[in-house]
Structure 1
């Protein structure tokens, strides 16, 4: 029995291009989504925020974990590498599921997966077990963003898609902030040997979101219609055919560069602040506040600019600025912690603004039938290959220091800038 929505449902859920263009206020992008689209936005926003929260339980607990299990920098860096490498598998599979069973169902599966294994990490008796649980957490972590971004992109208007997906990206900063607040509270009142476990146990929160999503969030009607009539949905082979091969290669390279730079910072800045700048738990939380505040505004600003400047120009601009900020941040003289505090804001701003165009750009590069597969594969392959960067920092940290090794992240942004030479501009493209 067909589940294709009737024509009136399509019209109600998705205003025409003319109706969307007429609404040009500050929150036009949100109104243009319609009621169903706004619920999809809420589900994707919450899922990505909690994805971020669960991810950052590890970097924030890294120093305590290293002390508890007696780990060196290379071993702690391996946590991030394993998470990101396995996330490539999870992301690719989630993309296929999104094309075959629907965006919302795939999204709920990813949220449940990362929540269950984040909690499991808190019960790990040794380093090896924790490494396995963190790898399995990566299965869900890898798929959530790509699936949620596609879900919302298919509701968003072409005119406002960059801003809409930039707002979704900003939820990463929200989850990061929640994790930093929880870290400050837990590590201030609980002994370090138990505090890291408590941090992981709080990763059960996403289960509440899944209960709500199951009842209230639905795929865009056009996507449902395409999925029902498509004969090539969720096909890895399709994204490597001549018509899409170039796109897949360069989009994967773009993702690798941006995420290599980003995860270098996300993984090692907390450790850098504590071990090389000698900041306390509360002090580290304070410095991260500036970094995260910059990140939140960067996501929103980057979303606006990706609609104004275009996808490629926005990424080029912030690739350059992110590389400059990394070099400046890592070379602040000892004793200049006030300057470290101030520079945290532009660092967070630039490294996040570059991501704002990703949700719209990758969605626009692929046709509806394989959009989940294409976006899931390229974004998460970038995560896996980009995972080499934080691991390299971990192994170099013993000889270069964490601050010195952080400059390796700037190389990632250079790779991203070069990858854009092989990709087209897609601003204004209709997805239906």
Structure 2
């Protein structure tokens, strides 16, 4: 019934503006949208807490940059496994149920990070947090792709993705407030403790968010025919090429993003001599650019196609990283360049969810999308560590730009080998 309503609304609307989706949403769509947007916002906040306190932990626990970057790498590696498994479970037991489980999981382990007594304990806890962090994106992205009609799919997932920038902003605000009123050795612990807040979102999800009809019908059909997917089916001959190319695509997309966002706060302090509080405004410029980039990226994915979005933003991101880290400029100019850097380094993410959802069939959408996206997370996770170790033999800015250039080159290359999927209708196959 919900799908029939969606189809009627889609046929009756010709508005292609950025906010058309919000005007035409059905009640189930709207509830799903806000549930996923809130989840991704708080997920982003939890993840970005650590990059913001890297400098503090380096000073308190006397660890080098490479070792400090290892905690990010471990989190992302575990998120790769968590995302794949969560995607598989989403195909077996439902998108909404898996979304609830993953949110509670990463909230719990974020809270425990506040009680770490040394760096080894923190790495273990961040690894466990990563399992839920990876799974939350997979379940939420598949849920949104199936809950919203194809006409608005790019804008819907782009708007949800923009929640990451909001979460990043919340983390920066927490940092500015807590480090202003508490000594550093206490402030970082309170930041992680407040990372448990996303768990309360589960009450909303349980009460208001429904499983998409296409998912329910697809699972029922698989049970009836005895064809429930296996964990390894995404590597079967008929789908293997798509799996490998989307995984390569994701390595480029995420390797560049994490190389930049993990180390920009430290870059501002180490090479621009800013304090924790003093760097807040510069990070805010990048974050606002990211937020706008997500929204515009989602709109462009629906207007010019998925591939054109990725081509344009991979080139733009590569150029902006080089300018931000290598071109001598005043602090005022650096602040101004932060906006386009955030815009291009984040905006292409808005197209990934719909693109992957349209490339995989419904019965394998969770496991396929979960593996591809989170494989990219796992390999891209090496980039922050490598940037940290490489910065011991060159400036941090040069190390960031080198790895970003490699990553965005991979994104461009993989995009050229994948088909355009704009406007594809998802079916319960």
2:108 pairs with 1:116: yes
Q: Deviations over 1:274-296 (max 9, x none)?
A: 12111122221110110000000
| Residue number in structure 2 paired with 1:55 | 47
Contact 2:10 2:151 in 1 (8 A): no
| Residue number in structure 2 paired with 1:104 | 96
Q: Deviations over 1:332-361 (max 9, x none)?
A: 32x621221111000000011111100110
Deviation of 1:412 after TM superposition, in Å, equals 0.1
Deviation of 1:242 after TM superposition, in Å, equals 1.7
| Residue number in structure 1 paired with 2:306 | 311
| Residue number in structure 2 paired with 1:416 | 411
Distance 2:162 2:317 in 1: 17
| Residue number in structure 1 paired with 2:149 | 157
**1:366/1:16 CA distance change after superposition, 3 Å:** farther
- Secondary structure, in 3 states, of the residue corresponding to 2:230? coil
Contact 1:246 1:422 in 2 (8 A): no
| Residue number in structure 2 paired with 1:194 | 186
| Residue number in structure 2 paired with 1:259 | 254
Deviation of 1:422 after TM superposition, in Å, equals 2.2
How is 1:295-374 mapped onto 2 (pairs within 5 angstroms)?
295-333=290-328, 336-374=330-368
Distance 1:31 1:218 in 2: 20
Distance 1:265 1:295 in 2: 12
The match for 2:283 among 278, 282, 288 is 288
| Residue number in structure 2 paired with 1:179 | 171
Deviates more, 1:221-230 or 1:54-63: 221-230
Deviation of 1:9 after TM superposition, in Å, equals 4.8
**1:350/1:272 CA distance change after superposition, 3 Å:** same
**1:18/1:177 CA distance change after superposition, 3 Å:** closer
Deviation of 1:234 after TM superposition, in Å, equals 4.4
Q: Deviations over 1:256-283 (max 9, x none)?
A: 0010000001100001111211112222
Deviation of 1:404 after TM superposition, in Å, equals 1.5
Q: Deviations over 1:341-398 (max 9, x none)?
A: 1110000000111111001101101111110001100000000011121111000112
How is 1:35-114 mapped onto 2 (pairs within 5 angstroms)?
35-114=27-106
> Any stretches of 5+ residues in structure 2 without a counterpart?
none
**1:9/1:171 CA distance change after superposition, 3 Å:** closer
- Secondary structure, in 3 states, of the residue corresponding to 2:74? helix
Deviation of 1:31 after TM superposition, in Å, equals 4.1
Give the TM-score, by structure 2 length.
Answer: 0.96
2:235 pairs with 1:240: yes
Distance 1:24 1:276 in 2: 44
Distance 1:236 1:288 in 2: 40
Deviation of 1:50 after TM superposition, in Å, equals 0.3
Deviation of 1:235 after TM superposition, in Å, equals 2.5
| Residue number in structure 2 paired with 1:138 | 130
Contact 2:143 2:212 in 1 (8 A): yes
| Residue number in structure 2 paired with 1:278 | 273
Distance 2:18 2:207 in 1: 30
Deviation of 1:163 after TM superposition, in Å, equals 0.9
| Residue number in structure 1 paired with 2:208 | 216
> Any stretches of 5+ residues in structure 1 without a counterpart?
1-7
Distance 1:222 1:32 in 2: 20
Deviation of 1:21 after TM superposition, in Å, equals 3.8
Deviates more, 1:116-125 or 1:237-246: 237-246
- Secondary structure, in 3 states, of the residue corresponding to 1:294? helix
Deviation of 1:158 after TM superposition, in Å, equals 1.4
| Residue number in structure 2 paired with 1:5 | none
Give the TM-score, by structure 1 length.
Answer: 0.95
| Residue number in structure 2 paired with 1:11 | 4
Deviation of 1:70 after TM superposition, in Å, equals 0.8
Distance 1:248 1:338 in 2: 44
Q: Deviations over 1:10-67 (max 9, x none)?
A: 434x333753544555532234441111111111101000000000110001111111
Distance 1:402 1:247 in 2: 35
Distance 1:347 1:304 in 2: 19
2:399 pairs with 1:405: yes
The match for 1:204 among 186, 196, 215 is 196
| Residue number in structure 2 paired with 1:169 | 161
